[in-house]
Structure 1
Amino acid sequence: MIPFASFVSDRVPPSAAESEALEAICKQYGADVFASTYYSTCAGTPSVQLVYDMIAEVMAYDLIHRDWQEKDIAMLYGRAHICISHQTRDDLLRFYPEISPDRVTVAHCGIETDVFRPRPAAEVDMFRRVHDLSGSYLMVVGARMHEGGYKNGAHLVEALSGMAPRKDLTVLFVGGEQEIPKIRMGGRKVEARRVVLSDDDLARAYCGAEALVYPSLYEGFGMPVAEAMACGCPVITTNLGSLAEVAGDAALLVSGTDIDEMRTALCAVREPEVRARALVAGPERARAFRWDAMADHVADRIEQLAEETRAGQHRAFLSEWAELRHLQSEVDF
């Protein structure tokens, strides 16, 4: 571990001075490459840039905010880019045509398979007792709307409102916004509650759920989908962003805009054959997502960039960039 002062603040956005501080650390330790896991950059040491999504660009956020400007800088500074899905790669190249496609690779995220796996019935029953879940429940995991509403949680609420009432149904919101929506089916109130769960309890919840409903309009990967599938939980998600890429043929895919389509899927996950298939197809699909494979890919790209740098391949670009970043640091704020 290298000690480094945190620049995280609600009041102070990222700055060029942060890049110079990171560069000083890289020089002190003789680093050949900086692996940027968010939007941090150095001021001369070449960067392997991990790219998670292009949500801000796809959803047309106001990119004048300094955080998004630093993302722009990070994308352009990176000498190699690793995207967590093919969809993210496609979107990166669409918004940054100046980046050479042969410098952009894909490494899917992994799943903690020792945690997210089918659990014994006794564990699921214990989870139900602790959370007083005697009947069926649907799961919604993470943010439900987020900026611009792209998480699309309202789609589920609207779909349920036009369905026949079910007195035994609970909608379980895991994490996400503090305030949960009021849900009705056929005019009758549906119990809804918000919980915060450990990873182990999240896996148990997946194993007992009627389905995970994840109607997002865009994702760079979609971790809840992969984790739910690993547990054998039926999944309803969209064919948008990377979600179809992650789900493969192990989930029910919907458009995210057609209410009747969502209602059909909500009925389908109750069918025994659909549930039986999810228990087999989900874990099988989820085995494709391994952290060791991602780590190996990142290590290979770091070594490749280090070799290029030692050969002087990026010298002119890095020298000019360092000068420009220094000039920016002198006028920031």
Structure 2
Amino acid sequence: MGSVVQHFSRIPNMKIGVNGRNLVPSFTGIGRYVLEMCRHLVAKGHEIVLYLPEKPSFPLPEWPGTTVRIGNHAGAIRRLIWGQMVLPQLAAGDGLDVFWGPAHRLPLYLNQRIPRVVTIHDLVWMDAASTMRFQTWLGERILMKPAVYGADKVVTVSSATAEAVKIAFPAAAEKVSVVRSGLTLLSGNFTKESFAAFAQSHRIDRPYALFVGTLEPRKNLPRLLEAYSRLSVKVRGELLLVIAGGQGWRLANLTTLISQLGIEASVRLTGYVTDGDLAGLYANARFLVMPSLYEGFGLPIIEANAMGIPVLASNTSSMPEVAGDAALLVDPQDVDALTCAMCRLASDEHLLRHLAARSRLNAARFDWHKSAAEMIRIFEDVIAMRNKYR
């Protein structure tokens, strides 16, 4: 594993305000990003003030040096109002050194004396708008542009997203930096015995290809299921398709599609799983399949790689960059290509071992300590820049 370069902060105890809206109402990849980055910023000696519009969907960790301010603004519209009207008032009174919007937004009326940084994870609203809820698309369309242009620095989690931001917002190109997400090792309460019980309860009784993610249009599940249905009866009999993830939207008919394709006997839907069960699913999978139409980063790729599991991923957006040389890449809109790739990984032991041998090395490129150190440098830079012009 590569060594992490030590970084000694020029400002040893920054007070960092963080918009925690992505911790409600559900815990997703961006929520994990917010928590992990905050945890590592605190571990490096900085103070976090975490602002939430309402009670989070899960108990927040209690870290020394962290203040959590929870409002009473439930619902999408009220959360939007909170972010633009209430949050800037709170931030103005908290003596912040810097304010960080970790997911696409900054308060329009944030006190001008406060340095501000925004992180952009993806441009789904521009590049894959049809896969989004209308209210989410509208919020991104209205609020991302002023956040990008209003920020002192813009951080993206991948080079692919950085290039997309520079094209979409050319006047902000010079202030874009890449700070990749880190890797969270999913240990949970995973043991062979606990996974055996989980597998039995979900009828996972043979080797399987694994999908992990929220069940929503961007994840391309209809094409994945169709591709899987085109595998021979023999291959499907020897390789289950396990789909792990909470219900998103516009995929309420997923079980109907599975039935129509005649693959009920070899598809398992686990629903949302705990970190412990997810670790077990990764560790025991033959390979991960991630045929998303678009990803700003793609955490499941490196989570699977960390367990030594190879990946079948899309050749679009950030996924080739994140997967490195530990994945088989395909066009996510080509069902035949997906089928062929799954068949190869199901039957070609040499290819599987070749990719698996590179998996852990690929995952080791992503480290939260390094990510937090890079983010600290950016915070220091924007503070210094603001002080220079005061």
Range into which the TM-score falls when normalised by the shorter chain: 0.7 to 0.9
Separation of aligned partners in 2, 1:133 and 1:22: 46
2:351 is aligned, of 259, 274, 290, to 274
> Residues 190-226 of structure 1, C-alpha deviation per residue, up to 9 Å, x if partnerless?
3323222211211111121122111111110001111
The aligned counterpart of 1:59 is 128
2:366 counterpart of 1:289: yes
The aligned counterpart of 1:69 is 142
What secondary structure does 1:99 align onto?
Answer: helix
CA contact (8 A) 1:164 1:185 kept: no
The number of residue pairs the alignment matches comes to 306
User: Which has more radius of gyration?
Assistant: 1
The aligned counterpart of 1:235 is 311
Separation of aligned partners in 2, 1:243 and 1:82: 18
Separation of aligned partners in 1, 2:126 and 2:99: 25
The aligned counterpart of 1:323 is none
2:267 is aligned, of 183, 192, 195, to 192
The aligned counterpart of 1:175 is 245
Q: CA deviation at 1:4?
A: 4.8
CA distance change for structure 1 residues 65 and 124 in 2, over 3 Å: closer, same or farther? closer
CA contact (8 A) 1:212 1:236 kept: yes
Q: CA deviation at 1:52?
A: 0.7
CA contact (8 A) 1:136 1:210 kept: yes
Separation of aligned partners in 1, 2:111 and 2:126: 25
What secondary structure does 2:71 align onto?
Answer: coil
2:224 counterpart of 1:159: no
1:1-333 alignment, distance < 5 Å = 1-12=67-78, 14-15=80-81, 18-19=83-84, 21-38=86-103, 39-41=105-107, 42-44=110-112, 45-60=114-129, 65-101=138-174, 103-113=175-185, 115=187, 125=196, 127-144=198-215, 146=216, 149-165=217-233, 166-177=236-247, 179=252, 180-181=254-255, 182-183=257-258, 189-195=264-270, 196-270=272-346, 271-312=348-389
Q: Where in structure 1 are there 5+ consecutive unaligned residues?
A: 316-333
> Residues 50-80 of structure 1, C-alpha deviation per residue, up to 9 Å, x if partnerless?
1111111112466982453122221221110
- With the length of structure 1 as denominator, give the TM-score of the two structures: 0.82
What secondary structure does 1:167 align onto?
Answer: helix
Range with bigger deviation, 157-166 or 242-251: 157-166
CA contact (8 A) 1:248 1:285 kept: yes
Separation of aligned partners in 2, 1:280 and 1:227: 15
Amino acid at match of 1:77: G
Structure with more contact order per residue of length (Cα contacts < 8 Å, sep ≥ 6): 1
CA distance change for structure 1 residues 4 and 161 in 2, over 3 Å: closer, same or farther? closer
Q: CA deviation at 1:261?
A: 1.6
Separation of aligned partners in 2, 1:52 and 1:104: 12
CA contact (8 A) 1:239 1:253 kept: yes
Separation of aligned partners in 2, 1:64 and 1:150: 13
CA contact (8 A) 1:155 1:257 kept: yes
Separation of aligned partners in 1, 2:186 and 2:333: 35
> Residues 267-320 of structure 1, C-alpha deviation per residue, up to 9 Å, x if partnerless?
1112222332333211110000111111111111001111111111xx6xxxxx
Identity of aligned residues (%): 26
- With the length of structure 2 as denominator, give the TM-score of the two structures: 0.71
